[in-house]
């Protein structure tokens, strides 16, 4: 589902947070249970000095203290996740209430108003029909009607934009909470591959999470300028580093707003084209952590390299991974496949987009891309059957960059 389908007036108004709030309650209960278990276990070890005072006892008690610390730290993360999630739901609900109130006012309007999914408000009767009804009052009533249409449109679209921002940026804020987990907890969630080369890739192909707050970009004047040329353009959730990278790219296109808008659309369209090509060439079950996913990342980087060069593409797509939310094995998979795609484009500078897609597909089938294997560890794509990839892990945090 695209953003234009997800964030519509009636879709957002129909959102029901009952299940989400139930999950939050369970997180809070689990945190309390883990905390009680950590304290009880620590007390047992602390009280063992009377009957276990040798070196082994001291080592066990020290290890118990470390595990208690890790567990207490984990409970703090769980509590923060619950708190932040509840807060974001409350914020979104506030804007849903605004939408509901405005829709009520629209339906009660004397001007027989209705609204488009994107929040645009219009009258069900044409101006000519109203003129027949209003007679000499038409000029005054039309001004009032159009003011209402404009005001309601602004209110609905502002609320939708706020919902989208809170939903997407808020999710990133919640994911970022996991960065506070103890390192041992993070690493324990990721299987280690047996292949020494894959172990090296797992260590080295990591990137730091962005320190800044992710936001929807572009907005304001730039978004309006791009949509004037390309109406189907949607803003994306981006880190400050991504925004800086794309802003630099647009600045290099010259001062012309049209040139910048077209460059922004080519940047935007590369990901859409890669996503569609992956869906066309690979089964649905391979599009998450599998062969289709590997193809998508590599082809996306190949297209960007063809358009804007490998240096900028590396800077931007690495900054993109700073959004966080990836366990270390998925992070390594994405960054490695990104690099492979850039290399293919550089080695074939005259290749068309379709030819690049064929070349990338060959890299996947020949086993030179990385996927998540059935055991959850990264593996070469030739070693895993299409559609039989595993899960990357449950803790959405990357390892520290090498």
DSSP string, 205-238: S--PPPSSPPEEES-HHHHHHHHHH-TT---EEE
Task: Assess whether pLDDT exceeds 60 at residue 148.
Answer: yes
pLDDT on residue 401: 38
pLDDT on residue 208: 81
pLDDT on residue 400: 39
More confident residue, 63 or 246: 246
Could you tell me the CA-to-CA distances from 166 to 169, 172, 282, 294 in Å, in that order? 5, 10, 33, 30
Measuring CA to CA, which residue among 307, 74, 335 is closest to residue 184? 74
Task: Assess whether pLDDT exceeds 90 at residue 53.
Answer: no
User: 393 falls in which pLDDT band (50, 70, 90)?
Assistant: low
User: Whole-angstrom Cα distance, residue 64 to residue 62?
Assistant: 5
3-state SS assignment for residue 113: strand
Look up the pTM and report it.
0.69
pLDDT on residue 397: 42
pLDDT on residue 135: 94
User: 74 falls in which pLDDT band (50, 70, 90)?
Assistant: confident
Could you tell me the CA-to-CA distances from 386 to 295, 330, 336, 359 in Å, in that order? 12, 17, 19, 18
pLDDT, tens digit, for every residue of 308-330?
999 999 999 999 888 766 788 88
More confident residue, 237 or 270: 270
- Please give the mean pLDDT across all residues of the chain: 88
Measuring CA to CA, which residue among 63, 325, 309 is closest to residue 169? 325
CB 331 within 8 A of CB 207: yes
Angle between helices 291-308 and 328-347 (to 10 degrees): 50
Task: Assess whether pLDDT exceeds 70 at residue 118.
Answer: yes
pLDDT on residue 325: 62
pLDDT, tens digit, for every residue of 253-299?
877 888 888 899 899 999 999 999 999 999 999 999 999 999 999 99
- What's the whole-number mean pLDDT along residues 11-17? 96
Residue ranges of E strands in 97-194: 113-115, 121-123
CA-based angle 12:210:278, to the nearest 5?
Answer: 60
pLDDT, tens digit, for every residue of 163-197?
998 998 888 778 777 777 776 776 677 888 999 99
- What's the whole-number mean pLDDT along residues 124-141? 95
Task: Assess whether pLDDT exceeds 60 at residue 349.
Answer: yes
User: Whole-angstrom Cα distance, residue 341 to residue 347?
Assistant: 10
DSSP string, 85-99: HHHHHHHHHHHHHHH
- Between the two ends of the chain, the Cα-to-Cα distance in Å is 36
Q: Decide the pairing of beta strands 113-115 and 121-123.
A: antiparallel
User: Whole-angstrom Cα distance, residue 78 to residue 93?
Assistant: 22
CA-based angle 265:342:328, to the nearest 5?
Answer: 100
CB 277 within 8 A of CB 295: yes
User: Whole-angstrom Cα distance, residue 402 to residue 365?
Assistant: 29
User: Whole-angstrom Cα distance, residue 386 to residue 367?
Assistant: 11
User: 337 falls in which pLDDT band (50, 70, 90)?
Assistant: very high
Task: Assess whether pLDDT exceeds 80 at residue 2.
Answer: no
Measuring CA to CA, which residue among 15, 18, 26 is closest to residue 82? 26
Burial 14-26 (b: 16+ CB within 10 A, else e): eeebeeeeeebee
CB 325 within 8 A of CB 172: yes
User: 1 falls in which pLDDT band (50, 70, 90)?
Assistant: very low
Could you tell me the CA-to-CA distances from 206 to 79, 292, 324 in Å, in that order? 27, 21, 11
């Amino acid at each position: 589902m695209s953003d234009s389908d997800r964030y519509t007036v009636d879709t957002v108004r129909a959102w029901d947070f009952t299940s989400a709030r139930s999950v939050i309650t369970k997180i809070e209960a689990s945190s309390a249970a883990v905390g009680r278990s950590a304290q009880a276990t620590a007390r047992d070890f602390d009280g063992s000095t009377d009957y276990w005072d040798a070196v082994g006892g001291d080592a066990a008690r020290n290890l118990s203290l470390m595990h208690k610390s890790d567990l207490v730290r984990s409970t703090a993360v769980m509590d923060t996740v619950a708190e932040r999630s509840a807060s974001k739901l409350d914020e979104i609900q506030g804007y849903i209430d605004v939408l509901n109130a405005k829709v009520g006012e629209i339906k009660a309007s004397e001007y027989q108003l209705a609204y488009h999914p994107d929040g645009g408000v219009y009258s069900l009767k044409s101006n000519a029909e109203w003129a027949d009804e209003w007679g000499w009052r038409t000029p005054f009533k039309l001004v009032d009607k159009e003011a209402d249409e404009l005001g309601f449109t602004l209110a609905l679209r502002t609320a939708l934009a706020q919902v989208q921002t809170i939903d997407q940026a808020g999710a990133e804020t919640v994911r970022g909470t996991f960065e506070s987990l103890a390192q041992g907890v993070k690493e324990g969630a990721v299987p280690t591959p047996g292949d020494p080369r894959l172990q090296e890739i797992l260590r080295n192909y990591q990137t730091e999470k962005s320190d800044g707050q992710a936001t929807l970009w572009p907005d304001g004047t730039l978004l309006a300028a791009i949509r004037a040329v390309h109406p189907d353009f949607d803003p994306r959730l981006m880190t400050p580093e991504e925004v800086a990278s794309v802003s630099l790219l647009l600045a290099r296109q010259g001062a012309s707003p049209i040139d910048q808008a077209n460059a922004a659309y080519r940047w935007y369209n590369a990901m859409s084209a890669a996503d569609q090509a992956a869906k066309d060439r690979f089964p649905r079950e391979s599009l998450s952590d599998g062969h289709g996913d590997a193809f998508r990342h590599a082809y996306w980087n190949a297209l960007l390299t063809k358009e804007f060069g490998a240096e900028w593409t590396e800077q931007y797509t690495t900054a993109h991974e700073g959004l966080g939310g990836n366990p270390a094995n998925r992070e390594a998979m994405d960054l490695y496949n990104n690099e492979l795609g850039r290399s293919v484009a550089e080695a074939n500078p005259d290749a068309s987009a379709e030819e690049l897609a064929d070349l990338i597909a060959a890299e996947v089938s020949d086993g030179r891309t990385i996927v998540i294997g059935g055991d959850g560890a990264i593996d070469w794509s030739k070693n895993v059957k299409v559609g039989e990839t595993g899960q990357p892990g449950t803790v959405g945090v990357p390892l520290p960059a090498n």
